[in-house]
Amino acid sequence: MKPLIPCAAMTCLLGTLACSGESPVGPSVNERPLHARGAPLTVMSQNMYVGADLDALIGALLGGGDPGLALTLAVGELLANNLELRIAGMADQILLQRPQVIALQEVSAIRVELPVPPFPFPTPVSIAQDFLAQLLEALAARGLHYQVAAANENFTIDLTAVFGVPVRLTDREVLLVSPDIQVRSASNGTFPCPLCMPLGLFTIQRGWVRADIRVASKDMTIVATHPESGTGDAVTQLRTAQIGALIDMLASAGDPVVLLGDLNDRPRQPDVRRAAAGGVS
């Protein structure tokens, strides 16, 4: 495998490898169009954020609190976090940067239908959100016509049977490419158990998306992932195993490999060091 270049939760300019770990919001040196810098490829990675603290809801479902209250708080957060406004901000940033490849994490599809009783909302709540469709629509409104090169459904949490009303969340990884990118092949996959996190009523699984592309007569492989988050030993070992499985899969890649995603790791930790080295230990 040729060198693997990790770009996690950032905008990364290939060729000069000018990468920034700061959130791409507000004035910065990245305000100039990336294509103007003469790089063979520009990429962006964005965690779209589900919009609520799911850990609190999961904890309540596992016996650590009142599930009804936790759901009510989560729905309140979803409403307060205003998906339309957040997606407009993402689309504006993409318009500013004009990346040729965009890796997206937490690309959710959410459906929640809550009647007033027993939930303490003044009117019934109906949420039907498809993050991918809404982002593509916002981009098209700005004259940007990205295509889905690869997508993977990581997991679905369906709590309809628990609450007696529709409560469903699907988590996805997505790679978008601009029209000037030639996708030679694409693939996706979900890490099998035991590289997953069973949580009683459901299982959290993570996955990856890959596109082998040609740009400016150069071939390269783009891969994106969102390994498990958390700081405990068990979660850290799980995340390391997920990254290791992904690198093993890429061992036979003949082209340069660019790794994108929300890697949930620090630059000097073994996962990222191994990815940057491009070797398989």
Q: How far apart are CA 108 and CA 153, in angstroms?
A: 9
Q: Which residues pair with 7 in a beta bridge?
A: 260
Least confident range from 167-171, 205-209, 256-260: namely: 256-260
The pLDDT value given to residue 149: 98
Question: Taking residues 15-43, what's their average pLDDT?
Answer: 43
The pLDDT value given to residue 33: 40
Does residue 33 lie within any of the structural domains?
A: no
Question: To 10 degrees, what angle do helices 270-277 and 233-249 make?
Answer: 10
Does residue 202 lie within any of the structural domains?
A: yes
The pLDDT value given to residue 269: 63
Whole-structure pTM value: 0.85
Q: Is the pLDDT score of 20 beyond 80?
A: no
The pLDDT value given to residue 134: 98
Range of the domain at 225: 4-15+39-277
Question: Taking residues 69-95, what's their average pLDDT?
Answer: 96
Taken in order 17, 20, 25, 29, the sign of the CA dihedral is negative
Does residue 138 lie within any of the structural domains?
A: yes
Q: Is the pLDDT score of 250 beyond 70?
A: yes
- The 8-class DSSP code of residue 206 comes to -
Question: To 10 degrees, what angle do helices 131-141 and 83-97 make?
Answer: 50
Q: Which residues pair with 6 in a beta bridge?
A: 259
Give yes or no for a contact between 79 and 130, defined as CB atoms under 8 angstroms apart. Answer: no
The pLDDT value given to residue 271: 65
Does residue 24 lie within any of the structural domains?
A: no
Instruction: Find the CATH number of the domain harbouring 211.
Output: 3.60.10
Give yes or no for a contact between 112 and 75, defined as CB atoms under 8 angstroms apart. Answer: yes
Rounded to the nearest 10 degrees, how much is the dihedral formed by the CA atoms of 226, 230, 231, 237? -60
Q: What are phi and psi of 207, to 5 degrees?
A: -150, -165
- Percent of the chain whose predicted confidence (pLDDT) is above 70: 80
Does residue 174 lie within any of the structural domains?
A: yes
Amino acid identity, position 18: A
Question: Taking residues 61-68, what's their average pLDDT?
Answer: 92
- What pLDDT digit, counting tens, does each position of 85-136 carry? 999 999 999 999 999 999 999 999 999 999 988 888 889 999 999 999 999 9
Task: Please indicate whether residue 11 or residue 89 has the higher confidence score (pLDDT).
Answer: 89
Q: Is the pLDDT score of 28 beyond 90?
A: no
Does residue 193 lie within any of the structural domains?
A: yes
State which of 23-37, 38-52, 131-145 shows the largest mean pLDDT: 131-145
Please state the separation of Cα 234 from the chain's center in Å: 22
Does residue 120 lie within any of the structural domains?
A: yes
Does residue 173 lie within any of the structural domains?
A: yes
The pLDDT value given to residue 119: 86
- Percent of the chain whose predicted confidence (pLDDT) is above 90: 65
Q: How far apart are CA 4 and CA 243, in angstroms?
A: 13
The pLDDT value given to residue 32: 35
Q: How far apart are CA 190 and CA 223, in angstroms?
A: 13
Domain tally for the chain? 1
Which tokens belong to 73? 């708080």
Which tokens belong to 230? 């958390």
Q: Is the pLDDT score of 51 beyond 90?
A: yes
Give yes or no for a contact between 135 and 93, defined as CB atoms under 8 angstroms apart. Answer: no
Rounded to the nearest 10 degrees, how much is the dihedral formed by the CA atoms of 125, 106, 83, 165? -10
